[in-house]
């Protein structure tokens, strides 16, 4: 085999691998983001959490895609709009870092308090087009209102005035959260 043939085979293999990475990245990113968002719904500061870990993911995707750009343009000369590939990679990194952040936050958290509190209200919103549905139980703990999102089955089984155990977890990285003690 000639040297040029070996190089074209290597370029084709690299092109296929990069194609798979850039093609699967948005789908994996969306799936991992959905998984992560389901776990952060009872965080005290969920938007700050998403901003920090999502931001880290986007910045790292920019750095990685900047490093990959010369390789992609060398291997596939048909690529005219590298910006779109950069966005695909950013979606993947966003999902990965949100999920890693959720797992890291839960491992670095410790139980700070167990509370028995009475349900003062229940809220339900049915999911519609462009609106997510949710079920919330409302409590007052230490003279502060607390809303806990929960599974629909729990929401239906519990009545206003019923007492439920809640756990408060404090995180070393600053993203505290509530959990229903379902035992």
Query: How do residues 8-34 score in pLDDT, each as one tens digit?
Result: 777 778 778 877 888 888 899 999 998
This prediction has a pTM of 0.80
Which of the residue ranges 6-15, 97-106, 131-140, 155-164 has the most confident prediction, judged by mean pLDDT? 97-106
Distance CA 151, CA 32 (A): 20
Specify the fold of 109-180. Answer: OB fold (Dihydrolipoamide Acetyltransferase, E2P) (2.40.50)
Distance CA 102, CA 108 (A): 10
Structure tokens at 156: 């239906």
Q: Is the pLDDT of residue 182 over 70?
A: no
User: How many residues are present in the chain?
Assistant: 183
Q: What is the pLDDT of residues 40-76, one digit of tens each?
A: 888 998 899 999 999 999 999 999 988 887 777 676 6
Q: What is the pLDDT of residues 83-125, one digit of tens each?
A: 778 888 899 999 999 999 999 999 999 999 898 988 898 988 8
Could you state, in order of their start, the residue ranges of all structural domains in the chain? 3-107, 109-180
Asked if residues 148 and 139 have their Cβ atoms less than 8 Å apart, the reply is yes
Name the residue among 21, 8, 11 with its Cα closest to residue 65.
Answer: 21
Q: Is the pLDDT of residue 150 over 60?
A: yes
Q: What's the chain's average pLDDT? A: 85
Name the residue among 170, 173, 33 with its Cα closest to residue 97.
Answer: 33
- pLDDT of res. 151: 84
């Amino acid at each position: 085999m000639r040297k040029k043939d070996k190089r074209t085979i290597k370029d084709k293999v690299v092109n296929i691998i990069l194609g798979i990475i850039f093609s699967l990245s948005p789908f994996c990113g969306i799936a991992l983001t959905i998984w992560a968002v389901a776990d952060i719904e009872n965080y005290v500061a969920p938007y700050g959490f998403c901003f920090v870990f999502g931001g880290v993911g986007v910045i790292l995707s920019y750095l990685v895609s900047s490093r990959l750009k010369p390789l992609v343009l060398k291997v596939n000369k048909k690529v005219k709009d590298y910006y779109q590939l950069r966005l695909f990679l950013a979606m993947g990194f966003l999902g990965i870092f949100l999920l890693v952040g959720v797992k890291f936050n839960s491992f670095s958290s410790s139980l700070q308090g167990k509370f028995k509190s009475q349900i003062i209200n229940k809220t339900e919103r049915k999911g519609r087009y462009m609106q997510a549905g949710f079920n919330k139980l409302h409590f007052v703990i230490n003279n502060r209102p607390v809303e806990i999102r929960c599974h629909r089955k729990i929401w239906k089984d519990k009545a206003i005035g019923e007492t439920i155990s809640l756990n408060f977890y404090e995180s070393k990285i600053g993203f505290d959260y509530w959990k229903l003690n379902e035992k």
